[in-house]
Amino acid sequence: MTQEDDAQQQLQEMVVLCPHLQGMTDEEQKESLKKNSNILNMHLKGVGLEHPEESKKNSTLFRGRVPSACPFADRLNASGPKWKPSDFRCGICKHYLHEARNTEPCKHNFCDVCLKKVGTTKGSSCPTCQAVVEDFSVDTFKQYTTDSYIKMQFELCVEDMGPKPEDPMNEFLFLTEQSVFFDLNVAIGNPTYLFNSDRSLFYANRALDSCDQLLNESKLIKFINLKSVVKGKIGDIYAIRGQHEEAKTQYKESICSLEEVMNKELDQDLTEVKNTIRVTLVKLGDLYLHREKEPLEALNWYSKSTNYNCEPIHALPVRIKLGEAKAQSGDVSGAKSDFEEAESIIKQLDASDYVDRCREELSRCMLLIN
Ligand SMILES: [Zn+2]
Ligand SMILES: [Zn+2]
Protein backbone atom coordinates (compact mmCIF):
# COMPACT_ATOMS: atom_id res chain seq x y z
CA MET A 1 0.00 0.00 0.00
CA THR A 2 1.30 3.44 -0.86
CA GLN A 3 1.27 6.08 1.81
CA GLU A 4 -1.65 7.73 0.10
CA ASP A 5 -3.71 4.51 -0.03
CA ASP A 6 -2.86 4.05 3.58
CA ALA A 7 -3.96 7.57 4.35
CA GLN A 8 -7.23 7.03 2.52
CA GLN A 9 -7.88 3.81 4.31
CA GLN A 10 -7.21 5.46 7.63
CA LEU A 11 -9.39 8.34 6.71
CA GLN A 12 -12.31 6.09 5.88
CA GLU A 13 -11.89 4.58 9.25
CA MET A 14 -11.59 7.93 10.80
CA VAL A 15 -14.79 9.37 9.48
CA VAL A 16 -16.35 6.75 11.69
CA LEU A 17 -14.97 8.64 14.64
CA CYS A 18 -17.36 11.38 14.95
CA PRO A 19 -18.26 14.02 17.53
CA HIS A 20 -21.87 12.95 17.40
CA LEU A 21 -20.89 9.81 19.24
CA GLN A 22 -20.83 12.06 22.26
CA GLY A 23 -24.57 11.80 22.18
CA MET A 24 -24.45 7.99 22.40
CA THR A 25 -26.39 6.61 25.29
CA ASP A 26 -25.11 3.06 25.05
CA GLU A 27 -22.20 3.18 27.54
CA GLU A 28 -20.98 -0.29 26.59
CA GLN A 29 -20.82 0.58 22.93
CA LYS A 30 -19.02 3.79 23.80
CA GLU A 31 -16.47 1.94 25.94
CA SER A 32 -15.76 -0.59 23.21
CA LEU A 33 -15.28 2.20 20.70
CA LYS A 34 -12.84 3.94 22.98
CA LYS A 35 -10.75 0.82 23.42
CA ASN A 36 -10.54 0.12 19.73
CA SER A 37 -8.43 2.86 18.36
CA ASN A 38 -5.70 5.26 19.22
CA ILE A 39 -6.92 7.64 16.59
CA LEU A 40 -10.40 7.28 17.99
CA ASN A 41 -9.01 8.12 21.38
CA MET A 42 -7.34 11.18 20.05
CA HIS A 43 -10.63 12.17 18.52
CA LEU A 44 -12.64 11.47 21.62
CA LYS A 45 -10.15 13.51 23.58
CA GLY A 46 -10.62 16.30 21.09
CA VAL A 47 -14.34 16.32 21.76
CA GLY A 48 -13.86 16.19 25.50
CA LEU A 49 -14.29 12.51 26.33
CA GLU A 50 -12.03 10.49 28.62
CA HIS A 51 -8.85 8.91 27.32
CA PRO A 52 -8.52 5.58 29.14
CA GLU A 53 -4.95 4.50 29.88
CA GLU A 54 -5.44 0.89 28.78
CA SER A 55 -6.47 1.89 25.28
CA LYS A 56 -2.96 3.14 24.55
CA LYS A 57 -1.78 -0.47 24.39
CA ASN A 58 -4.18 -1.30 21.58
CA SER A 59 -3.58 0.54 18.35
CA THR A 60 -5.93 -1.51 16.15
CA LEU A 61 -8.10 0.80 14.14
CA PHE A 62 -11.80 0.68 14.69
CA ARG A 63 -13.47 -1.30 11.92
CA GLY A 64 -17.18 -1.28 12.28
CA ARG A 65 -20.38 0.37 11.30
CA VAL A 66 -21.00 3.96 12.17
CA PRO A 67 -23.45 4.01 15.08
CA SER A 68 -26.76 5.57 14.19
CA ALA A 69 -26.16 8.32 16.75
CA CYS A 70 -24.14 9.96 14.00
CA PRO A 71 -26.34 11.81 11.52
CA PHE A 72 -23.95 10.83 8.72
CA ALA A 73 -24.17 7.13 9.59
CA ASP A 74 -26.24 6.13 6.56
CA ARG A 75 -23.94 7.86 4.12
CA LEU A 76 -20.81 6.54 5.76
CA ASN A 77 -22.04 2.97 6.08
CA ALA A 78 -23.50 2.85 2.59
CA SER A 79 -20.64 3.89 0.39
CA GLY A 80 -17.30 3.66 2.15
CA PRO A 81 -16.26 6.93 0.51
CA LYS A 82 -13.03 7.23 -1.43
CA TRP A 83 -11.30 10.46 -0.62
CA LYS A 84 -8.47 12.31 -2.26
CA PRO A 85 -6.52 14.94 -0.34
CA SER A 86 -7.75 17.52 -2.85
CA ASP A 87 -11.34 16.82 -1.75
CA PHE A 88 -10.63 18.74 1.43
CA ARG A 89 -9.39 21.86 -0.26
CA CYS A 90 -11.26 24.99 -1.19
CA GLY A 91 -11.60 25.67 -4.93
CA ILE A 92 -10.59 29.30 -4.34
CA CYS A 93 -7.85 29.50 -1.71
CA LYS A 94 -6.73 25.86 -2.22
CA HIS A 95 -6.32 25.63 1.52
CA TYR A 96 -8.17 23.19 3.76
CA LEU A 97 -11.86 24.02 3.80
CA HIS A 98 -13.05 26.32 6.53
CA GLU A 99 -16.78 26.61 7.14
CA ALA A 100 -17.35 24.61 3.97
CA ARG A 101 -20.09 25.63 1.57
CA ASN A 102 -21.51 23.71 -1.39
CA THR A 103 -22.54 25.40 -4.58
CA GLU A 104 -25.83 24.11 -5.97
CA PRO A 105 -26.41 22.34 -8.26
CA CYS A 106 -22.73 21.74 -9.26
CA LYS A 107 -21.70 20.84 -5.67
CA HIS A 108 -18.24 22.36 -5.59
CA ASN A 109 -16.75 23.15 -2.19
CA PHE A 110 -15.44 26.48 -0.98
CA CYS A 111 -14.76 28.24 2.29
CA ASP A 112 -17.55 30.60 3.25
CA VAL A 113 -15.12 33.52 3.54
CA CYS A 114 -13.58 32.80 0.12
CA LEU A 115 -16.97 32.87 -1.66
CA LYS A 116 -17.67 36.21 -0.02
CA LYS A 117 -14.26 37.58 -0.97
CA VAL A 118 -14.61 36.76 -4.66
CA GLY A 119 -18.21 37.94 -4.56
CA THR A 120 -19.92 34.73 -5.65
CA THR A 121 -23.66 35.18 -5.13
CA LYS A 122 -26.78 33.43 -6.35
CA GLY A 123 -26.90 33.83 -10.12
CA SER A 124 -23.14 34.30 -10.58
CA SER A 125 -20.85 31.56 -11.88
CA CYS A 126 -19.12 28.85 -9.83
CA PRO A 127 -15.41 29.67 -9.39
CA THR A 128 -14.52 26.04 -10.21
CA CYS A 129 -16.79 25.05 -13.12
CA GLN A 130 -18.42 28.35 -14.19
CA ALA A 131 -21.91 26.85 -13.89
CA VAL A 132 -24.60 29.22 -12.67
CA VAL A 133 -24.87 29.05 -8.89
CA GLU A 134 -28.51 28.65 -7.94
CA ASP A 135 -27.94 28.31 -4.25
CA PHE A 136 -25.43 27.60 -1.47
CA SER A 137 -25.64 25.04 1.28
CA VAL A 138 -23.65 24.57 4.46
CA ASP A 139 -21.63 21.37 4.05
CA THR A 140 -21.21 20.09 7.60
CA PHE A 141 -20.29 16.65 6.35
CA LYS A 142 -17.43 17.88 4.18
CA GLN A 143 -16.21 20.15 6.96
CA TYR A 144 -16.24 17.23 9.35
CA THR A 145 -14.27 14.96 7.00
CA THR A 146 -11.83 17.81 6.33
CA ASP A 147 -11.20 18.28 10.02
CA SER A 148 -10.78 14.51 10.42
CA TYR A 149 -8.33 14.46 7.55
CA ILE A 150 -6.27 17.22 9.11
CA LYS A 151 -6.21 15.31 12.40
CA MET A 152 -5.10 12.21 10.56
CA GLN A 153 -2.26 14.12 8.92
CA PHE A 154 -1.17 15.09 12.40
CA GLU A 155 -1.21 11.43 13.49
CA LEU A 156 0.91 10.50 10.48
CA CYS A 157 3.48 13.20 11.11
CA VAL A 158 3.77 12.24 14.75
CA GLU A 159 4.41 8.64 13.66
CA ASP A 160 7.18 9.94 11.44
CA MET A 161 8.82 11.49 14.48
CA GLY A 162 9.74 8.01 15.74
CA PRO A 163 9.07 6.57 19.18
CA LYS A 164 7.16 8.70 21.60
CA PRO A 165 8.47 9.13 25.15
CA GLU A 166 7.17 6.39 27.39
CA ASP A 167 6.24 8.22 30.54
CA PRO A 168 2.82 9.86 30.25
CA MET A 169 3.89 13.41 31.13
CA ASN A 170 6.70 13.48 28.59
CA GLU A 171 4.42 11.89 26.03
CA PHE A 172 1.85 14.61 26.69
CA LEU A 173 4.48 17.34 26.29
CA PHE A 174 5.83 15.69 23.14
CA LEU A 175 2.43 15.37 21.48
CA THR A 176 1.36 18.85 22.49
CA GLU A 177 4.58 20.35 21.16
CA GLN A 178 4.14 18.48 17.88
CA SER A 179 0.57 19.73 17.62
CA VAL A 180 1.87 23.31 17.96
CA PHE A 181 4.25 22.77 15.03
CA PHE A 182 1.53 21.06 13.05
CA ASP A 183 -1.05 23.80 13.58
CA LEU A 184 1.53 26.44 12.82
CA ASN A 185 2.37 24.68 9.56
CA VAL A 186 -1.29 24.54 8.58
CA ALA A 187 -1.62 28.21 9.52
CA ILE A 188 1.31 29.45 7.46
CA GLY A 189 2.17 26.53 5.19
CA ASN A 190 0.07 27.34 2.18
CA PRO A 191 1.29 30.09 -0.14
CA THR A 192 -2.25 31.36 -0.51
CA TYR A 193 -2.94 31.40 3.21
CA LEU A 194 -3.05 35.15 3.21
CA PHE A 195 -6.19 34.97 1.17
CA ASN A 196 -8.02 33.05 3.83
CA SER A 197 -6.52 34.55 6.94
CA ASP A 198 -9.52 33.40 9.03
CA ARG A 199 -8.35 29.85 8.53
CA SER A 200 -4.75 30.76 9.36
CA LEU A 201 -5.81 32.62 12.45
CA PHE A 202 -7.92 29.69 13.60
CA TYR A 203 -4.92 27.33 13.46
CA ALA A 204 -2.45 29.83 14.86
CA ASN A 205 -4.75 30.46 17.83
CA ARG A 206 -5.12 26.75 18.38
CA ALA A 207 -1.32 26.48 18.41
CA LEU A 208 -1.31 29.25 21.01
CA ASP A 209 -3.76 27.31 23.22
CA SER A 210 -1.48 24.28 23.00
CA CYS A 211 1.47 26.47 24.05
CA ASP A 212 -0.49 27.48 27.14
CA GLN A 213 -1.09 23.81 27.93
CA LEU A 214 2.63 23.17 27.59
CA LEU A 215 3.47 26.07 29.88
CA ASN A 216 0.95 24.91 32.45
CA GLU A 217 2.94 21.71 32.75
CA SER A 218 6.47 22.93 32.27
CA LYS A 219 8.19 26.29 32.26
CA LEU A 220 10.96 25.11 29.93
CA ILE A 221 12.53 28.02 28.09
CA LYS A 222 11.99 26.28 24.77
CA PHE A 223 8.22 26.34 25.39
CA ILE A 224 8.27 30.02 26.37
CA ASN A 225 10.19 30.67 23.16
CA LEU A 226 7.76 28.56 21.13
CA LYS A 227 4.81 30.56 22.44
CA SER A 228 6.57 33.78 21.44
CA VAL A 229 7.20 32.43 17.95
CA VAL A 230 3.49 31.55 17.65
CA LYS A 231 2.47 35.02 18.86
CA GLY A 232 4.84 36.52 16.28
CA LYS A 233 3.05 34.55 13.53
CA ILE A 234 -0.33 35.68 14.82
CA GLY A 235 1.02 39.24 14.72
CA ASP A 236 2.01 38.70 11.06
CA ILE A 237 -1.49 37.53 10.18
CA TYR A 238 -3.02 40.58 11.90
CA ALA A 239 -0.55 42.89 10.14
CA ILE A 240 -1.57 41.49 6.76
CA ARG A 241 -5.24 41.84 7.64
CA GLY A 242 -4.56 45.51 8.34
CA GLN A 243 -5.23 45.09 12.08
CA HIS A 244 -2.07 46.93 13.09
CA GLU A 245 -2.92 47.49 16.76
CA GLU A 246 -3.62 43.78 17.27
CA ALA A 247 -0.36 42.95 15.49
CA LYS A 248 1.64 45.32 17.71
CA THR A 249 0.11 43.81 20.83
CA GLN A 250 1.12 40.29 19.77
CA TYR A 251 4.67 41.35 18.86
CA LYS A 252 5.17 43.38 22.04
CA GLU A 253 3.84 40.61 24.31
CA SER A 254 6.09 38.15 22.53
CA ILE A 255 9.14 40.36 23.13
CA CYS A 256 8.25 41.11 26.77
CA SER A 257 7.94 37.50 27.83
CA LEU A 258 11.30 36.65 26.23
CA GLU A 259 13.01 39.67 27.77
CA GLU A 260 11.87 38.39 31.15
CA VAL A 261 13.63 35.12 30.37
CA MET A 262 16.77 37.00 29.33
CA ASN A 263 16.78 38.89 32.62
CA LYS A 264 16.45 35.77 34.74
CA GLU A 265 18.21 32.79 33.18
CA LEU A 266 21.67 34.02 32.31
CA ASP A 267 23.47 30.69 32.71
CA GLN A 268 21.63 28.92 29.85
CA ASP A 269 22.04 28.91 26.10
CA LEU A 270 19.73 31.68 24.99
CA THR A 271 20.60 31.79 21.28
CA GLU A 272 17.09 30.80 20.19
CA VAL A 273 15.53 33.32 22.55
CA LYS A 274 17.77 36.10 21.21
CA ASN A 275 16.88 35.14 17.64
CA THR A 276 13.16 35.29 18.36
CA ILE A 277 13.46 38.69 20.05
CA ARG A 278 15.54 40.07 17.18
CA VAL A 279 13.16 38.78 14.52
CA THR A 280 10.12 40.13 16.36
CA LEU A 281 11.69 43.57 16.92
CA VAL A 282 12.43 43.75 13.20
CA LYS A 283 8.80 42.81 12.46
CA LEU A 284 7.65 45.70 14.63
CA GLY A 285 10.05 48.01 12.81
CA ASP A 286 8.72 46.81 9.44
CA LEU A 287 5.15 47.38 10.58
CA TYR A 288 5.95 51.00 11.44
CA LEU A 289 8.11 51.65 8.39
CA HIS A 290 6.07 50.04 5.63
CA ARG A 291 2.51 49.97 6.91
CA GLU A 292 2.24 52.91 9.32
CA LYS A 293 4.77 55.12 7.49
CA GLU A 294 6.40 56.17 10.77
CA PRO A 295 10.16 55.89 10.14
CA LEU A 296 11.20 57.35 13.51
CA GLU A 297 9.19 54.75 15.40
CA ALA A 298 10.57 52.06 13.08
CA LEU A 299 14.10 53.26 13.83
CA ASN A 300 13.49 52.77 17.52
CA TRP A 301 12.59 49.07 17.09
CA TYR A 302 15.28 48.32 14.53
CA SER A 303 17.90 49.87 16.87
CA LYS A 304 16.72 47.71 19.76
CA SER A 305 17.06 44.62 17.60
CA THR A 306 20.79 45.27 17.10
CA ASN A 307 21.29 44.35 20.77
CA TYR A 308 20.38 40.80 19.82
CA ASN A 309 22.50 40.37 16.71
CA CYS A 310 24.49 37.17 16.84
CA GLU A 311 25.92 36.90 13.34
CA PRO A 312 26.89 39.31 10.52
CA ILE A 313 24.35 37.52 8.33
CA HIS A 314 21.60 38.69 10.70
CA ALA A 315 23.10 42.14 11.16
CA LEU A 316 23.13 42.85 7.42
CA PRO A 317 19.39 43.22 6.65
CA VAL A 318 18.84 45.18 9.86
CA ARG A 319 21.63 47.61 8.93
CA ILE A 320 19.94 48.16 5.55
CA LYS A 321 16.56 48.71 7.24
CA LEU A 322 18.12 51.19 9.69
CA GLY A 323 19.50 53.13 6.73
CA GLU A 324 16.12 53.03 5.00
CA ALA A 325 14.30 54.33 8.08
CA LYS A 326 16.88 57.12 8.54
CA ALA A 327 16.65 58.07 4.87
CA GLN A 328 12.87 58.25 5.11
CA SER A 329 13.03 60.42 8.20
CA GLY A 330 15.43 62.84 6.50
CA ASP A 331 18.68 61.80 8.23
CA VAL A 332 20.76 61.48 5.06
CA SER A 333 24.20 61.26 6.69
CA GLY A 334 22.98 58.66 9.20
CA ALA A 335 21.50 56.62 6.35
CA LYS A 336 24.74 56.91 4.38
CA SER A 337 26.82 55.50 7.21
CA ASP A 338 24.40 52.56 7.69
CA PHE A 339 24.58 51.76 3.98
CA GLU A 340 28.40 51.88 4.09
CA GLU A 341 28.37 49.58 7.07
CA ALA A 342 26.05 47.21 5.16
CA GLU A 343 28.46 47.23 2.21
CA SER A 344 31.34 46.29 4.45
CA ILE A 345 29.34 43.41 5.98
CA ILE A 346 28.58 42.13 2.47
CA LYS A 347 32.32 42.06 1.76
CA GLN A 348 32.87 39.80 4.80
CA LEU A 349 30.20 37.29 3.74
CA ASP A 350 30.50 34.42 1.26
CA ALA A 351 28.47 34.79 -1.92
CA SER A 352 24.96 33.34 -1.78
CA ASP A 353 21.46 34.03 -3.09
CA TYR A 354 20.66 35.55 0.27
CA VAL A 355 23.58 37.97 0.07
CA ASP A 356 22.59 38.82 -3.54
CA ARG A 357 19.08 39.68 -2.39
CA CYS A 358 20.47 41.87 0.40
CA ARG A 359 22.72 43.63 -2.11
CA GLU A 360 19.71 44.33 -4.36
CA GLU A 361 17.75 45.64 -1.41
CA LEU A 362 20.70 47.86 -0.48
CA SER A 363 20.86 49.31 -4.01
CA ARG A 364 17.12 50.02 -3.87
CA CYS A 365 17.44 51.81 -0.52
CA MET A 366 20.51 53.81 -1.57
CA LEU A 367 18.37 55.46 -4.25
CA LEU A 368 16.50 57.15 -1.39
CA ILE A 369 19.50 59.35 -0.58
CA ASN A 370 20.87 59.92 -4.06
ZN1 LIG B 1 -11.06 28.94 0.70
ZN1 LIG C 1 -19.11 24.28 -9.78
Distance 188 CA to ligand 1 centre (A): 14
Q: Which residues contact 212 (CB under 8 A, 6 or more apart)?
A: 227
Distance 110 CA to ligand 2 centre (A): 10
For position 203, what pLDDT does the model report? 85
| Residue 251 located in a structural domain | no
For residue 196, the ligand closest to its alpha carbon is 1
Domain count across the chain: 3
Distance 138 CA to ligand 1 centre (A): 14
Q: Highest mean pLDDT: which of 149-158, 231-240, 324-333?
A: 324-333
Distance 102 CA to ligand 2 centre (A): 9
Q: Angle at Cα 316 formed by Cα 231 and Cα 280, nearest 5°?
A: 10
Percent of the chain, pLDDT > 90?
A: 45
| Residue 353 located in a structural domain | yes
Q: Provide mean pLDDT across the span 275-304.
A: 95
Higher pLDDT, 195 or 242: 242
Residues 70 and 21 in one domain: yes
Neighbours of ion ligand 2 (CB under 5 A): 106, 108, 126, 128-129, 131
The phi, psi pair for 137, rounded to 5°, reads: -135, 155
Residues 73 and 100 in one domain: no
Which residues on adjacent β-strands are paired with residue 214? Answer: none
- DSSP letter for 126, please: -
Residues 67 and 120 in one domain: no
The residue among 36, 58, 179, 65 whose CA lies nearest residue 44 is 36
Q: Which residues contact 140 (CB under 8 A, 6 or more apart)?
A: 100
Q: What is the pLDDT confidence band of residue 194, given thresholds at 50, 70 and 90?
A: low
Distance 109 CA to ligand 1 centre (A): 9
Q: What is the pLDDT confidence band of residue 150, given thresholds at 50, 70 and 90?
A: confident
Higher pLDDT, 9 or 252: 252
Residues 55 and 22 in one domain: yes
For position 55, what pLDDT does the model report? 34
For position 357, what pLDDT does the model report? 92
Which of 51, 77, 103 terminates a domain? The answer is 77
For position 331, what pLDDT does the model report? 96
The whole domain housing 335 covers 313-370
Distance 295 CA to ligand 2 centre (A): 47
For position 337, what pLDDT does the model report? 97
Residues 72 and 92 in one domain: no
Q: Which residues contact 275 (CB under 8 A, 6 or more apart)?
A: 308, 310, 314
- Bond before 19 cis per omega within 30 degrees: no
- CATH code for the domain in which residue 118 is found: 3.30.40.10
Distance CA 209, CA 215 (A): 10
Residues 99 and 33 in one domain: no
Residues 52 and 105 in one domain: no
Does the model's pTM come out above 0.75? no
